[in-house]
């Protein structure tokens, strides 16, 4: 058996099609066309220094410390240096367009929706019985048991059990409505009275409440969210026609040597 495996352009397209990735690829292409057109209409431009800065950031994210590392990464992803420059240029353009469209209204939007960006650090155990949940709640209040001990006894999922029921930092909108209200009304740290939901009875330890502040990280998050909503609306308004003509695919072939 030969140690070379030939993969053609049509093989790649066929694999993408059969793995049901065509809609995602089409969406990405449509998004780029919309962004490029909107940036041109808005007069948004990218400076050479901004591209270089983004390229340095990308190399840092991908841990491409040496020039050799960058070349190997480009080869792995079938990119040329020109492609890399185009990729970074597009990332900068997309970010600048988002800021152009939404930065002026950012503070107004934040103050109208600031409660959505409050966050809480919580631990939770979901039980089937309200009576059992109440019994454990009062035992916690009396100091007869710890939340970690309850988690070890009643959580089935191994990783969550080992973490003592820790579900991390979540924003208000990430909680079920019937849970969000008591969580953000709590004086942390404290345990909440059991909360009954269709999923089960929640016993929740609120470790910390974090009030939202419009810092740089949250600015970027909100602008990104608004931009993605805008982009989705633009795509939804389009009638996208996709044509794949296999006969016109270039017969370029990749030669891959098995490991």
Q: Calculate the alpha carbon distances from 164 to 10, 145, 154 in Å.
A: 50, 13, 10
pLDDT score for 245? 63
| pLDDT over 70 (residue 211) | yes
Is the per-residue pLDDT at 242 higher than 80?
no
Mean pLDDT of the chain: 90
Answer whether residue 252 shows pLDDT above 80.
no
This prediction has a pTM of 0.75
Q: Is the pLDDT of residue 51 over 70?
A: yes
Residue 255 has pLDDT above 50, yes or no: no
Contact partners, residue 217, CB within 8 Å, separation at least 6: none
Q: Could you tell me whether strands 166-171 and 119-127 are parallel, antiparallel, or unpaired per DSSP bridges? A: antiparallel
CATH top class, domain 119-210: alpha beta
pLDDT score recorded for residue 247: 54
What is the C-alpha to C-alpha distance for residues 230 and 222, in angstroms, rounded to an integer? 12
- d(C-alpha 196, C-alpha 178), whole Å: 8
Q: Where in the chain are the domains?
A: 8-108+216-249, 119-210
């Amino acid at each position: 058996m030969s140690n070379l495996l030939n993969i053609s352009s049509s093989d790649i397209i066929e694999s993408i099609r059969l793995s049901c990735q065509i809609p995602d690829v089409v969406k990405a292409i449509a998004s780029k066309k919309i962004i490029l057109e909107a940036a041109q209409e808005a007069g948004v431009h990218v400076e050479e220094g901004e591209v270089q800065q983004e390229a340095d950031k990308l190399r840092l994210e991908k841990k491409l410390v040496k020039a050799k590392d960058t070349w190997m990464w480009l080869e792995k992803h079938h990119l040329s240096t020109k492609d890399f420059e185009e990729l970074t240029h597009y990332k900068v353009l997309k970010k600048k367009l988002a800021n152009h469209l939404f930065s002026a209204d950012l503070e107004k939007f934040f103050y109208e929706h600031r409660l959505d960006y409050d966050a809480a650090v919580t631990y939770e155990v979901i039980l089937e019985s309200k009576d059992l949940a109440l019994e454990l709640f009062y035992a916690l209040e009396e100091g007869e048991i710890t939340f970690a001990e309850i988690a070890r006894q009643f959580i089935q999922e191994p990783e969550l059990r080992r973490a003592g029921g820790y579900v991390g930092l979540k924003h208000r909108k990430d909680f079920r409505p019937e849970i969000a209200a008591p969580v953000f009304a709590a004086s942390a740290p404290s345990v909440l009275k059991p909360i009954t939901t269709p999923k089960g009875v929640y016993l929740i330890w609120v470790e910390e409440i974090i009030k939202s502040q419009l810092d740089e990280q949250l600015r970027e998050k909100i602008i990104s969210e608004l931009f993605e909503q805008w982009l989705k609306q633009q795509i939804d308004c389009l009638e996208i026609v996709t044509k794949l003509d296999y006969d016109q695919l270039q017969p370029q072939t990749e030669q891959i040597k098995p490991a």
